[in-house]
Structure 1
């Protein structure tokens, strides 16, 4: 059974979207997953599933999470090897862009089509740029980035269903689980 990494969007952002990691593990196990682990309390989950497709795993988890929590929990799933490639891209982009001051990675449910890719590329500004590789969009933020800005490139709305993590978390998860 392959190892998968699941990333939950918009959990533990306030009292109304609370989903503690022990509850995430319990619900994932109730949904048929095994070997479930979590990393920090922001919706990062390692699991094994008898389901054979990413879409089926996402659907099963989203249904179980919504039933348990009473709110939708968009979930983005990668095979461990796919996620390891994202972590390698983080390192490669850090070397290629030494000027970046912040690096966030948007983990995408689906790859972007050509039109969306062009729109994302057009968000480049003095704040930074987006680099899209497969189902990961890297926000490379430079000197023009204002700390605290939620979406400094105005690109998040172009990405479809996605959840973001910073480069440090991406590296830590890959080191731990890939």
Structure 2
């Protein structure tokens, strides 16, 4: 069995996309996940699985979530080593940055030409740095007024889900071993 960390996109936002972490855990276990843990109610899941293909695991979980909730839940899976690398990249990408730091986690690795497009979309106060399947958004003090958002990332790079750097680092420490 291999260990994975799954990030669910757009759960527990508004009245129609409720997916409490206990229900997430039960759905992952029903889909064959073992030693399942969740962290806060934003769709962060650690699991062991006999599946070896990331794409197959994502599809299996997405099918289970749709069956359980009745709505699609895009799911983005990383290995513990990949998650540790994302947390390490944050140090390099954000050197000297004192504002907010969010990470958009991508379902697919982007092509170099679109990476350039997203990184060029930044301004002096908002910067995007791409490392593999993670986009580090270095923003000013208020995420809600930022123009460089997960929606912009998705427009250019495809399905993504966003976490603040504190959550990414916490999960890398807890589950990245």
Measured against the shorter chain, the TM-score band is over 0.9
**Offset at 1:146?**
4.5
| Farther off after superposition, 117-126 or 10-19 | 117-126
1:147 CA drift (Å): 4.2
* SS of residue paired to 1:148: helix
Query: Residues of 1 paired with 2:73 and 2:87: CA distance?
Result: 24
Equivalent pairs counted in the alignment come to: 173
| Residue in 2 that maps onto 1:105 | 103
User: What's the counterpart of residue 119 of structure 1?
Assistant: 117
Cross-structure match for 2:16: 16
Aligned partner of residue 169 in structure 1, secondary structure: helix
- In structure 2, the CA distance between the partners of 1:163 and 1:177, relative to structure 1 (3 Å rule), is same
Match of 1:137 in 2: 135
Structure 1's unaligned 5+ residue stretches are none
Q: CA RMSD in A?
A: 1.4
TM-score of the aligned structures, taking structure 2 as reference length: 0.93
> How do 1:38-49 residues align onto structure 2 when only pairs under 5 Å count?
38-49=38-49
Listed as ranges, the matches of 1:1-178 within 5 Å are: 1-94=1-94, 96=95, 98-142=96-140, 146-149=142-145, 152-153=147-148, 155-156=152-153, 157-178=155-176
Distance in 2 (CA, whole Å) between partners of 1:23 and 1:153 is: 32
Give the Cα separation in 2 of the matches to 1:8 and 1:65.
Answer: 10
Please list every run of 5 or more consecutive structure 2 residues that lacks an aligned counterpart in the other structure.
Answer: none
- For normalisation by structure 1, the TM-score amounts to 0.92
